[in-house]
Amino acid sequence: MKSKMPIAPMLAVGLLGGCVNVSAPDKPIVINLNINVTQEVVYRLDNDAKSVIKRNPGIF
């Protein structure tokens, strides 16, 4: 069997496809980035290191 599809609608869709225009904006693009960076340093000392620091407070 042959399919009887009308050619006119397919032709109209092809003609109305159009084109896309892309142009640069007049004003520059501005991107505001608010970044907050925090750092936390966690340290642990064993008992021997703590006692050495207590005995010699001017070591650091």
pLDDT over threshold 70, residue 22: yes
> Is residue 39 situated within a structural domain?
yes
Cβ atoms 56, 49 nearer than 8 A: no
Using pLDDT thresholds of 50, 70 and 90, give the confidence band for residue 25.
Answer: confident
The most distant pair of C-alpha atoms in the chain lies apart, rounded to whole Å, by 101
10 part of a folded domain: no
Looking at the domain assignment, is residue 19 inside a domain? no
- Please check whether residue 15 lies inside any domain of the structure: no
Q: What is the pTM of this model?
A: 0.27
Give the per-residue pLDDT at 49.
Answer: 82
- Is 21 part of a structural domain of the chain? no
CA distance 59 to 50: 12
Within a domain: residue 25?
no
Q: Domain span at residue 46?
A: 33-60
Mean pLDDT of 34-45: 83
- Number of domains into which the chain is organized: 1
Q: Are 44 and 50 in contact (CB under 8 A)?
A: no
Residue 24 resides in a domain: no
Which pLDDT belongs to residue 3?
58
